[in-house]
């Protein structure tokens, strides 16, 4: 007796449909590229952690402190997220800073940055596949991303740019995958693969809000082009936007619940607007309502961050893309990469953002790292320049295809090497992001030494200290569990401790003389304001350490 | 003919005794002698053997469609024996000295199958003419139409009204939700905080019960594998020591395999007929032992036309189920079961892709159990059903199918095997459940009024003292890829769970006595708690969210103990489910599927929507069957499950 064996299919699997590998779900090499991105930042981290430069940025230290305060505080909980910064980077850092060493050394930021760079690299790799770029231009794009020293440096810190870049690239990769898929992927998939990264970005930095908005238009345009109805197009757009909308709603609800004001993050005393107001009052917000200066400042930041040669090649790539692809779906994907830059430029002109560099009036180095969100776009455009040239030459003389590809890739390699050699000659002078880091490093030397003294001599008993002023954002350097501190972040407990330090804290660290500042409340040291001239305090506490205007006091106790 | 151990016996006693001549067809059906399986050889009296008529085989063909059997004549023999032996009484020729019964037969019927003819028809001779299996089945369906329709629709409700969902909820069950609602409203008016505290506490209790039940079941899964492996090694060792081959040959030679009935109910699925043929054609089973019935509803003209137009293999027959109520899948299956020729039967959906060796594995499982039962080698109850696991071949078609695949992986690969260890009654999956046909009929077949007839049948099997076992074989199914359809499908499933719980708990004490503590645990921890937890889930979720972004936002002043316990159980409960489902789904499919378990809390909200719809339908429209469309993902291009 023979069994039935009609050879309809050879396994229990489905009938397989032939799929273009660049349009398939899995993009070969994504995992390896992810690992490469992680490895590159890991190597960079070894250098920055050993030199301590990964903690140069005050904001980086503050991000680490906020993340740890959620669990390590006299008043733990999500309320510690505050409203100054959007919450996703802190939530991502949360598990990493649970280890005190990873927190105080800043390694937590390195780990997050490495994972973000790995994610960014893989996402860029996938975008280039969706755009059907040949292998060599894809490698070129990846190289431009991974060989950017400013981005690498920031990826070793706890700053928010790596998270933003990863979210932006994942969003674009998701949208590109959706737009180029063989079949129209569902709204759910669009929400997960593009909407969720967009929502992560939306709760990371405001630049991503522009990308989310651009993404909505992108989805509508692409689906209409695919012959879908308006209703279907709107459903897809809503699917993409839904996670971001939920994220924003949650953020508003959080601000309402914690601060009683849904727009606390915009209008509160610690909001960015309060800072720009101070800058404007001091006449330093020269980019506001000045499109030319804004463009110059932005261009300067890009120049010192990406290098002239890469910018030129990227511009060529953009021009060729406009010429060859006009505004087809692939071109729209490319333009999505510029959404954050457009938003940044707009916010400089409208006075929402501050950026200071040698092109600014007055010159300086402040917030130039914002342009890092444009680096992936430049990388993509650089790869596209090579890709377009290969296609054009290949069209003209087929045999020239490979030589042109190799020559193009070699040219970019030479450019990258030369650019990095040039930057290495004077990092602080030629790269504005490094310049700002070095400036803050120098500014904080005294503070960090003071922090280390307290760390070495601390024998328990809690510390009263206002860590809100930028120069006192020292939690990682202190290396002491944050629950031992009375800071502004513990609300009423801080006020009680300031009113009665003797009953609360064995140690007090403050500015010996109150800070003279016409800036925001965040620049004031409330402990110093209350205790610096209080004789009762000085009778109860003895100055144990002082350097410059920093004093560390210990409670006088019976031996 | 095979017995439990698979030997050929060649024994039969097909017809009731002469007294049945005057019985109504319904009575004929339920006579013990009318069972498909014949009595043992010793039961056939020698005098019966002596009374066998003369049998003449001819090459004459009968077209039963053009010349149907004499209705009165054919109705004297139950349809089951006729199907089993492959003949139907056609004409009675009383012109000669000896009356001759002319039968239309498929193949060469065993002469002994005519043992009762002399008494029933006063015929001393039987003339056998040829017909086709399809024509035979159609003729029997026509002759026994009333019987078959009764069996399909109302047999269970007539014989075991207590076990049928036909009468729906009892009075107290119907009023119970209303009483709860009134109590809640009164509570909210008199003491809002107390009412909310009690509601949320109950919601959390249900949620925790459900999570704990599932987690414990899943955690037992590895023990099952270890136990089986150890048992297998011990058996091999014992066999070797006894001078036998290490492994027991579970299967007989292929020509001795029993006839296997495959029921494929389909409705409005003209697009999957071709797929059905392709999928069933890979079954590794002798074609002449396969009895595949494509069960189509009479009003489904498109699918009937597609099936008739398709080039169906000889072992696939189109069976049109006559109109009737309720028009449900279990009714169609019952109809098919009545016409089944097989010793065992399995249900597949039209788009199912069973593992090729699944039927043989099921036969092996039954044979092993029969052997162990006969020789007292097991303390387990007799095996009535073998359930294959189910997976989705379009798992990564979209997010919904991924979530569905994760849920199925958790259910079939971890939970049911884990429950198997504890011998808890197992609710059956919708397809790929392999039945011993006679036992299934004894148990009342499927309840056509229960929209999850599978779960109900599983629990009824346990109540009757039999067991369900999981087998190491899988069937690929098509996951529903459209949210609205998914909600309708899930509404039906949850409604079925509710009805199953309601039916079984009409008399809770009796249920507890019959099923014992394990049955009670299964009913409360799985069937009842699952549905109630889905109903309560939005409350627990809302509380957690409100607590995290500040209770003052919604003006609640809840006791700290409640918020802390609730948030803890909810967060850890969700985490537990996410982790376990992610692990199981990653193991079953890939991590690319498993990672989507993080969206479980959102997916469970869809369950809640379905659960509330189900509650509404249970109260107001209990027998409504919301059909799940199939063949929606034909453009699927991936292979995540491979």
State pLDDT tens for residues A446-474: 888 999 999 999 999 999 999 888 788 88
Instruction: Identify whether residues B505 and B640 lie together within a single domain.
Output: yes
Instruction: Identify whether residues A257 and A368 lie together within a single domain.
Output: yes
For residue B352, give the nearest of B321, B392, B399 by alpha carbon: B392
Binary contact (B635, A183; C-beta < 8 A): yes
Helix (H, G, I), strand (E, B) or coil at B15: coil
Q: pLDDT value at position A520?
A: 67
Q: pLDDT value at position B37?
A: 42
The answer to whether B123 touches B99, Cβ cutoff 8 Å, is: yes
Helix (H, G, I), strand (E, B) or coil at A518: coil
- pLDDT above 60 for B142: yes
Q: pLDDT value at position A535?
A: 93
Residue B105 placed within a domain: yes
Q: pLDDT value at position B638?
A: 56
Confidence of residue B110 (pLDDT cuts 50, 70, 90): confident
Q: Give the minimum alpha-carbon distance from A546 to chain B in angstroms, rounded to a whole number.
A: 42
Q: Which span out of A373-382, A389-398, A401-410, B83-92 was modeled with the highest average pLDDT?
A: A373-382
Confidence of residue B65 (pLDDT cuts 50, 70, 90): confident
Q: pLDDT value at position A373?
A: 94
Per-position b or e across B24-45, b if 16+ CB within 10 A of its CB: ebeebbbeebbbbbbeeeeebe
As for how many domains chain A has, the answer is: 2
Residue B270 placed within a domain: no
Binary contact (B278, A257; C-beta < 8 A): no
Confidence of residue A12 (pLDDT cuts 50, 70, 90): very low
Binary contact (A4, B285; C-beta < 8 A): yes
Least CB–CB distance from A258: residue in B394, B550, B636? B550
Q: pLDDT value at position B632?
A: 64
Would you state the structure tokens that stand for residue B540, as one six-digit string?
A: 């627990």
Instruction: Identify whether residues A81 and A119 lie together within a single domain.
Output: yes
Q: Which of B238-242, B380-384, B512-516 has the lowest mean pLDDT?
A: B512-516
Residue A9 placed within a domain: no
Q: Which span out of A87-96, B46-55, B99-108, B142-151 was modeled with the highest average pLDDT?
A: A87-96
- List of chain A residues whose C-beta atoms are within 8 Å of the C-beta of residue B637: 16-17, 19, 24, 182-183
Q: Which of A524-533, B27-36, B514-523, B556-565 has the lowest mean pLDDT?
A: B27-36
Q: Give the minimum alpha-carbon distance from A254 to chain B in angstroms, rounded to a whole number.
A: 5
- List of chain A residues whose C-beta atoms are within 8 Å of the C-beta of residue B638: 25
- pLDDT above 50 for A14: no
Closest chain A CA to residue B545:
A250
Residue A18 placed within a domain: no
Residue B530 placed within a domain: yes
Average model confidence (pLDDT) across chain A:
89
Binary contact (A9, B282; C-beta < 8 A): yes
- Domain of B188, in residue numbers: 168-227+360-642
Q: Within 13 Å and on the Cβ side, how many CA atoms surround B81?
A: 29
- List of chain B residues whose C-beta atoms are within 8 Å of the C-beta of residue A195: none
Residue A21 placed within a domain: no
Instruction: Identify whether residues A429 and A458 lie together within a single domain.
Output: no
Residue B551 placed within a domain: yes
- The model's pTM is 0.80
Residue A236 placed within a domain: yes
Predicted ipTM of the assembly? 0.79
Task: Kindly state the average pLDDT of the residues A103-126.
Answer: 97
Instruction: Identify whether residues A389 and A509 lie together within a single domain.
Output: no
Instruction: Identify whether residues A314 and A198 lie together within a single domain.
Output: yes
Binary contact (A11, B254; C-beta < 8 A): no
* CB-based contact, A406 to chain B, within 8 Å: no
Instruction: Identify whether residues A459 and A332 lie together within a single domain.
Output: no
- pLDDT above 50 for A6: no
Instruction: Identify whether residues A378 and A498 lie together within a single domain.
Output: no
Residue B293 placed within a domain: no
Q: Which of A183-197, A434-448, B530-544 has the lowest mean pLDDT?
A: B530-544
- pLDDT above 50 for B30: no
- List of chain A residues whose C-beta atoms are within 8 Å of the C-beta of residue B596: 192
Best of B637, B639, B641, B642 to disrupt the A interface by mutation (most A CBs within 10 Å)? B637
- Domain of A448, in residue numbers: 444-555
Least CB–CB distance from B552: residue in A2, A14, A257? A257
Stated as kind and residue range, the H or E segment containing B264 is: strand B260-266
Interface of A with B in 187-206 (CB under 8 A): 188-189, 191-192
* CB-based contact, A319 to chain B, within 8 Å: no
Task: Kindly state the average pLDDT of the residues B128-150.
Answer: 89
* CB-based contact, A10 to chain B, within 8 Å: no
- pLDDT above 80 for B26: no
Instruction: Identify whether residues A384 and A286 lie together within a single domain.
Output: yes
Instruction: Identify whether residues B137 and B176 lie together within a single domain.
Output: no
- pLDDT above 60 for B29: no
Instruction: Identify whether residues A33 and A169 lie together within a single domain.
Output: yes
How many beta-carbon contacts under 8 Å exist across A and B? 96
d(CA A123, CA A121) in angstroms, rounded, equals 5
Best of A2, A14, A191, A250 to disrupt the B interface by mutation (most B CBs within 10 Å)? A14
Q: pLDDT value at position A23?
A: 65
Last residue of a domain, one of A402, A435, A468: A435
Q: Give the minimum alpha-carbon distance from B255 to chain A in angstroms, rounded to a whole number.
A: 6
For residue A193, the 8-state DSSP code is: I
d(CA A409, CA A525) in angstroms, rounded, equals 54
Q: Give the minimum alpha-carbon distance from A19 to chain B in angstroms, rounded to a whole number.
A: 7
Strands of the sheet containing A485-486, edge to edge, are A485-486, A463-465, A507-511, A550-555, A541-547
d(CA A427, CA A434) in angstroms, rounded, equals 6
Q: pLDDT value at position B44?
A: 53
Q: Which of A39-53, B108-122, B383-397, B550-564 has the lowest mean pLDDT?
A: B550-564
A286-342 confidence digits (pLDDT tens): 888 899 999 999 999 999 999 999 999 999 999 999 999 999 999 999 999 999 999
Instruction: Identify whether residues B550 and B618 lie together within a single domain.
Output: yes
- pLDDT above 50 for B31: no
Binary contact (B290, A185; C-beta < 8 A): no
Instruction: Identify whether residues B582 and B474 lie together within a single domain.
Output: yes
Instruction: Identify whether residues A315 and A343 lie together within a single domain.
Output: yes
As for how many domains chain B has, the answer is: 2
Binary contact (B287, A3; C-beta < 8 A): yes
Would you state the structure tokens that stand for residue B394, as one six-digit string?
A: 């379009």
**What is the biggest distance separating any 2 CA atoms in chain B, rounded to whole angstroms?**
100
Instruction: Identify whether residues B571 and B484 lie together within a single domain.
Output: yes
Task: Kindly state the average pLDDT of the residues B98-102.
Answer: 86
Residue B620 placed within a domain: yes
Would you state the structure tokens that stand for residue B296, as one six-digit string?
A: 């189509």
Task: Kindly state the average pLDDT of the residues B436-446.
Answer: 88
Q: Within 13 Å and on the Cβ side, how many CA atoms surround A362?
A: 6
Closest chain A CA to residue B400:
A188
Q: pLDDT value at position A161?
A: 96
The answer to whether B346 touches B264, Cβ cutoff 8 Å, is: no
Q: Which of B9-23, B194-208, B259-273, B510-524 has the lowest mean pLDDT?
A: B9-23
Q: pLDDT value at position A15?
A: 40
Interface of A with B in 21-40 (CB under 8 A): 24-25
Q: Strands A507-511, A463-465: parallel, antiparallel or unpaired by DSSP? A: parallel
Instruction: Identify whether residues B74 and B215 lie together within a single domain.
Output: no
If you write DSSP's letter for every residue of B460-485 in order, what string do you get?
HHHHTT-EEEEEEEEEEEPPP--HHH
B569-579 confidence digits (pLDDT tens): 878 888 999 99
B336-362 confidence digits (pLDDT tens): 999 998 999 999 988 889 999 999 999
- List of chain B residues whose C-beta atoms are within 8 Å of the C-beta of residue A19: 637
Closest chain B CA to residue A79:
B549
For residue A552, give the nearest of A483, A490, A480, A495 by alpha carbon: A480
Average model confidence (pLDDT) across chain B:
82
- pLDDT above 50 for A425: yes
Closest chain A CA to residue B482:
A186
Binary contact (A4, B553; C-beta < 8 A): no
Comparing A401 with A36, which gets the higher pLDDT? Answer: A36
Q: Give the minimum alpha-carbon distance from B637 to chain A in angstroms, rounded to a whole number.
A: 5
* CB-based contact, A78 to chain B, within 8 Å: yes
d(CA B303, CA B300) in angstroms, rounded, equals 6
Residue B544 placed within a domain: yes
Q: Which of B33-47, B385-399, B400-414 has the lowest mean pLDDT?
A: B33-47
Instruction: Identify whether residues B77 and B220 lie together within a single domain.
Output: no
Binary contact (A8, B548; C-beta < 8 A): no
The answer to whether B288 touches B254, Cβ cutoff 8 Å, is: no
Q: Give the minimum alpha-carbon distance from B335 to chain A in angstroms, rounded to a whole number.
A: 26
Last residue of a domain, one of A435, A463, A488: A435
Instruction: Identify whether residues B191 and B103 lie together within a single domain.
Output: no
Sign of CA dihedral B551, B554, B555, B558: negative
Binary contact (B639, A16; C-beta < 8 A): yes
Q: Which of A317-321, A478-482, B84-88, B619-623 has the lowest mean pLDDT?
A: B619-623
Would you state the structure tokens that stand for residue A507, as one six-digit string?
A: 């140690």
Confidence of residue A22 (pLDDT cuts 50, 70, 90): low
Least CB–CB distance from B398: residue in A19, A185, A254? A185
Last residue of a domain, one of A435, A465, A484: A435
Q: Give the minimum alpha-carbon distance from A253 to chain B in angstroms, rounded to a whole number.
A: 7
Q: pLDDT value at position A21?
A: 61
Confidence of residue B547 (pLDDT cuts 50, 70, 90): low
For residue B114, the 8-state DSSP code is: G
Q: Which span out of A141-155, A273-287, A408-422 was modeled with the highest average pLDDT?
A: A141-155
- pLDDT above 80 for B640: no
Instruction: Identify whether residues A408 and A312 lie together within a single domain.
Output: yes
Residue A10 placed within a domain: no
d(CA B456, CA B443) in angstroms, rounded, equals 11
Q: Which of A110-114, B474-478, B606-610 has the lowest mean pLDDT?
A: B474-478
For A80, residues 6+ apart whose C-beta sits below 8 A from its C-beta are A66, A69, A70, A73, A489
Residue A72 placed within a domain: yes
For B217, residues 6+ apart whose C-beta sits below 8 A from its C-beta are B414, B415, B416, B418, B419, B422, B424
- List of chain B residues whose C-beta atoms are within 8 Å of the C-beta of residue A183: 635, 637
Q: pLDDT value at position B635?
A: 63
Closest chain A CA to residue B359:
A3
Give CA angle at A380 (A376, A384), nearest 5°. 170
Task: Kindly state the average pLDDT of the residues A114-143.
Answer: 96
Instruction: Identify whether residues B130 and B177 lie together within a single domain.
Output: no
Residue A3 placed within a domain: no
B241-257 confidence digits (pLDDT tens): 888 888 887 788 888 89
Instruction: Identify whether residues B399 and B438 lie together within a single domain.
Output: yes
The answer to whether B147 touches B429, Cβ cutoff 8 Å, is: no
Q: Which of A50-54, A302-306, B24-28 has the lowest mean pLDDT?
A: B24-28
Helix (H, G, I), strand (E, B) or coil at A143: helix
Least CB–CB distance from B285: residue in A3, A9, A12? A3
Least CB–CB distance from B637: residue in A4, A8, A182? A182
A23-49 confidence digits (pLDDT tens): 677 889 999 999 999 999 999 999 999
Residue A51 placed within a domain: yes
Binary contact (B284, A183; C-beta < 8 A): no
Strands of the sheet containing B87-93, edge to edge, are B54-61, B125-130, B100-105, B87-93
Helix (H, G, I), strand (E, B) or coil at A553: strand
d(CA B574, CA B571) in angstroms, rounded, equals 5
Task: Kindly state the average pLDDT of the residues A156-183.
Answer: 95
Q: pLDDT value at position B637?
A: 59
Task: Kindly state the average pLDDT of the residues B203-207.
Answer: 80
User: How far lies B289's CA from each of A40, A292, B39, in Å?
Assistant: 64, 85, 21
Instruction: Identify whether residues B445 and B507 lie together within a single domain.
Output: yes
User: How far lies B607's CA from each of A150, B11, B410, B499, B574, in Å?
Assistant: 48, 52, 16, 17, 14
Q: pLDDT value at position B548?
A: 61
Residue B508 placed within a domain: yes
d(CA A271, CA A353) in angstroms, rounded, equals 12
For residue A311, the 8-state DSSP code is: H
d(CA A407, CA A423) in angstroms, rounded, equals 24
Instruction: Identify whether residues A273 and A125 lie together within a single domain.
Output: yes
Chain B residues with CB under 8 Å of a chain A CB are: 253-255, 278-279, 281-288, 290, 313, 315, 353-356, 393-394, 396-400, 474, 476, 481, 483, 548-550, 552-553, 596, 599, 635-639, 641-642
Last residue of a domain, one of B98, B126, B143: B143
Q: In terms of C-beta density within 10 A (0-12 exposed, 13-18 middle, 19 or more buried), how is residue B516 classed?
A: middle
Q: pLDDT value at position B41?
A: 42
- A 10 A CB-CB count for B271 gives 17
- List of chain A residues whose C-beta atoms are within 8 Å of the C-beta of residue B254: 1, 3
């Amino acid at each position: 007796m023979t069994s039935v064996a009609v050879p309809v299919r050879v396994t229990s699997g489905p009938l397989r449909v032939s799929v273009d590998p660049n349009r398939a779900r899995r993009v070969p090499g994504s995992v390896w590229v992810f690992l490469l991105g992680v490895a590159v930042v890991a190597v960079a981290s070894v250098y920055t952690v050993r030199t301590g430069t990964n903690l140069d940025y005050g904001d980086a230290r503050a991000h680490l402190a906020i993340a740890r305060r959620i669990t390590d505080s006299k008043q733990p909980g999500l309320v510690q997220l505050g409203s100054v910064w959007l919450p996703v980077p802190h939530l991502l850092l949360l598990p990493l800073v649970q280890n005190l060493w990873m927190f105080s050394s800043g390694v937590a930021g390195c780990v997050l940055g490495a994972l973000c760079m790995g994610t960014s690299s893989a996402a860029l790799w996938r975008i280039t596949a969706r755009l059907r770029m040949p292998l060599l231009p894809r490698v070129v794009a990846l190289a431009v991303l991974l060989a950017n020293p400013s981005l690498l440096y920031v990826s070793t810190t706890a700053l928010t740019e790596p998270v933003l870049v990863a979210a932006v690239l994942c969003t674009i990769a998701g949208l590109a995958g959706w737009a180029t898929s063989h079949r129209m992927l569902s709204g759910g998939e669009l929400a997960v693969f593009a909407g969720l990264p967009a929502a992560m970005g939306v709760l990371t930095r405001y630049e991503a809000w522009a990308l989310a908005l651009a993404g909505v238009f992108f989805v509508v345009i692409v689906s209409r082009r695919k012959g879908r109805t308006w209703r279907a197009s709107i459903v897809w757009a809503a699917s993409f936007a839904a996670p971001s909308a939920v994220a924003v709603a949650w953020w508003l609800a959080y601000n309402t619940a914690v601060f009683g004001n849904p727009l606390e993050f915009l209008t509160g005393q610690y909001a960015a607007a309060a800072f720009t107001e101070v800058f404007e009052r001091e006449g330093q917000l020269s980019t506001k309502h000045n499109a030319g200066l804004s463009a110059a400042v932005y261009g300067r930041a890009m120049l010192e961050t990406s290098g002239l040669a890469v910018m030129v090649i990227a511009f060529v790539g953009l021009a060729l893309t406009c010429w060859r692809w006009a505004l087809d779906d692939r071109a729209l994907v490319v333009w999505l990469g510029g959404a954050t830059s457009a938003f940044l430029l707009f916010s400089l002109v409208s006075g929402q953002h501050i950026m200071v560099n040698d092109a600014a009036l007055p010159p300086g180095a402040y917030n130039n790292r914002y342009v890092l969100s444009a680096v992936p776009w430049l990388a993509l455009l650089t790869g596209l320049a090579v890709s377009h040239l290969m296609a054009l030459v290949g069209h003209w003389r087929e045999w020239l295809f490979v030589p042109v590809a190799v020559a193009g890739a070699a040219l970019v390699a030479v450019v990258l090497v030369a650019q990095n050699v040039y930057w290495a000659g004077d990092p602080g002078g030629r790269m504005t992001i490094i310049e700002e880091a070095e400036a803050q490093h120098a500014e904080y030397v005294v503070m960090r030494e003071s922090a280390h003294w307290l760390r070495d001599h601390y024998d328990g008993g809690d510390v009263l200290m206002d860590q809100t002023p930028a120069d006192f954002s020292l939690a990682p350097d202190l290396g002491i569990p944050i629950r031992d501190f009375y800071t502004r972040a513990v609300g009423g407990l801080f006020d009680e401790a300031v009113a009665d330090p003797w009953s609360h804290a064995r140690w007090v660290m403050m500015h010996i003389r109150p800070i003279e500042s016409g800036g925001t409340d965040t620049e004031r040291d409330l402990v110093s304001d209350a205790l610096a001239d209080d004789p009762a305090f000085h009778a109860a506490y003895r100055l144990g350490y002082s350097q410059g205007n920093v004093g560390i006091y210990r409670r006088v106790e019976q031996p | 003919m095979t017995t439990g151990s698979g030997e050929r016996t060649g024994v039969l006693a097909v017809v009731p005794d002469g007294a049945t001549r005057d019985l109504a067809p319904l009575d004929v059906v339920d006579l013990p002698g009318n069972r498909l399986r014949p009595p043992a050889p010793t039961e056939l009296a020698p005098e019966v053997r002596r009374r066998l008529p003369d049998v003449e085989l001819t090459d004459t063909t009968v077209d039963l469609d053009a010349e149907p059997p004499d209705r009165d004549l054919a109705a004297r023999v139950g349809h089951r024996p006729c199907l089993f032996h492959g003949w139907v009484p056609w004409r009675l020729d009383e012109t000669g000295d000896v009356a001759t019964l002319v039968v239309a037969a498929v193949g060469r019927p065993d002469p002994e199958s005519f043992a009762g003819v002399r008494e029933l028809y006063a015929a001393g001779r039987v003339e056998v003419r040829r017909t086709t299996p399809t024509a035979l089945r159609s003729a029997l369906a026509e002759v026994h139409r009333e019987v078959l329709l009764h069996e399909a629709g109302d047999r269970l409700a007539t014989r075991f009204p207590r076990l049928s969902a036909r009468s729906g909820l009892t009075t107290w069950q119907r009023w119970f939700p209303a009483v709860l609602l009134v109590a809640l409203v009164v509570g909210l008016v008199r003491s809002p905080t107390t009412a909310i505290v009690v509601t949320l506490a109950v919601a959390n209790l249900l949620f925790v019960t459900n999570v704990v039940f599932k987690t414990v079941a899943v955690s037992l899964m590895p023990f099952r594998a270890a136990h089986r492996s150890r048992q297998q090694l011990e058996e091999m060792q014992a066999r070797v020591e006894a001078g036998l081959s290490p492994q027991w040959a579970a299967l007989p030679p292929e020509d001795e395999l029993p006839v296997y009935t495959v029921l494929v109910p389909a409705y409005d699925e003209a697009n999957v007929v071709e797929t059905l043929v392709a999928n069933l054609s890979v079954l590794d089973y002798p074609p002449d032992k396969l009895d595949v019935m494509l069960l189509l509803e009479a009003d489904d003209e498109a699918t009937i036309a597609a099936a008739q137009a398709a080039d169906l293999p000889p072992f696939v027959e189109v069976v049109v189920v006559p109109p009737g109520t309720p028009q449900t899948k279990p009714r169609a299956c019952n109809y098919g079961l009545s016409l089944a020729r097989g010793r065992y039967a399995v249900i597949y959906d039209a788009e199912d892709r069973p593992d090729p060796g699944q039927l043989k594995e099921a036969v092996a499982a039954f044979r092993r159990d029969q052997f162990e039962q006969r020789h007292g080698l097991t303390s387990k109850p007799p095996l009535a059903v073998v359930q294959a696991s189910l997976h989705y071949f379009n798992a990564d078609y979209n997010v919904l199918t991924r979530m569905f695949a994760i849920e199925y992986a958790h259910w079939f690969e971890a939970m049911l095997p884990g429950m198997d260890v504890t011998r808890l009654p197992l609710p059956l999956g919708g397809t790929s459940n392999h039945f011993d046909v006679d036992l299934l009929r004894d148990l009342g077949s499927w309840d056509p009024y229960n929209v999850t007839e599978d779960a109900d049948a599983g629990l009824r099997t346990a109540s009757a003292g039999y067991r369900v076992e999981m087998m190491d074989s899988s069937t690929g199914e098509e996951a529903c890829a459209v949210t609205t359809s998914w909600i309708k499908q899930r509404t039906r499933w949850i409604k079925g769970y509710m009805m199953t719980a309601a039916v079984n708990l009409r008399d809770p004490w009796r249920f507890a006595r019959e099923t014992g503590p394990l049955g009670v645990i299964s009913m409360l921890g799985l069937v009842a708690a699952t549905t109630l937890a889905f109903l309560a889930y939005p409350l627990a979720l809302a509380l957690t969210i409100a607590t995290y972004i500040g209770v003052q936002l919604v003006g609640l002043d809840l006791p700290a103990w409640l918020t802390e316990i609730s948030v803890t159980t909810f967060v850890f409960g969700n985490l537990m489910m996410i982790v376990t489902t992610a692990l199981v789904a990653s193991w079953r499919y890939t991590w690319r599927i498993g990672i989507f378990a993080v969206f479980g809390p959102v997916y469970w909200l869809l369950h809640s929507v379905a659960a509330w719809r189900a509650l509404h339908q249970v109260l107001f429209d209990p027998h409504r069957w919301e059909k799940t469309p199939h063949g929606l993902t034909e453009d699927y291009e991936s292979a995540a499950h491979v």
